[in-house]
Amino acid sequence: MPLEIEHKFLVLSTQYRSLSEPEEIRQGYLMESDRWVLRVRLHGDKGKITLKSQTTGVSRSEYECTIPGKEAEELLESCGTDQIHKFRYSFLFDNLEWMVDEFRGLNQGLVLAEVELAFEGQVFSRPEWVGTEVTGTARYYNVNLIKAPYSSWSEQEKLSNP
């Protein structure tokens, strides 16, 4: 069973912008239950369908397949305005791939970094501009940012540690 093992963090500065060019991403959720979510994503002209299980710790099952961009666009249209729009910066740091997402639309102002690992417990170092870890904090899950976008959070929620 394919596993996604990731840690997610708040970002303290824009230093990551000098490390790569951003890639525009749109994504929506076609199905959500207490055990699974089914996501469609469009990166430029490339589409993906991803089925993810509920997160347990830092791991979850993940099944992903590539689809034509046109089909991803059609599926995204079925999501209406319930979509995530973001710009992603991807780069290597200490031999691991990091991704920083700058959210747009109703989630403007939220910037998250994540690193995917090969196994749970893998030791890794963080760039100096990576802040508080929010792994496992449900309000930062993309699927939840559609229901309760960052712009709807109180200033206290935005400033509080998870």
Contact 30, 78 (CB under 8 A): yes
- Known catalytic residues are 29
Query: pLDDT digit string (tens) for 44-87?
Result: 899 999 999 988 888 999 999 999 999 999 999 999 999 999 99
- Pull the structure tokens for residue 17: 């912008």
Number of domains in the chain: 1
Mean predicted lDDT score pLDDT of the chain = 95
Find, among 68, 21, 23, the residue nearest to 49 by Cα.
Answer: 68
Q: What is the pTM of this model?
A: 0.94
pLDDT in tens, 13-44: 999 999 999 999 999 999 999 999 999 999 98
**What is the model's pLDDT at position 145?**
97
For residue 54, give its domain range: 3-159
Q: How far apart, in Å, are the Cα atoms of 68 and each of 40, 45, 56, 87?
A: 11, 8, 31, 20
- Give the separation between CA 46 and CA 68, rounded to whole angstroms: 6
Q: Work out the percent of the chain whose per-residue pLDDT is above 70.
A: 98
pLDDT at 91: 97
Please tell me the predicted confidence (pLDDT) of residue 1. Answer: 67
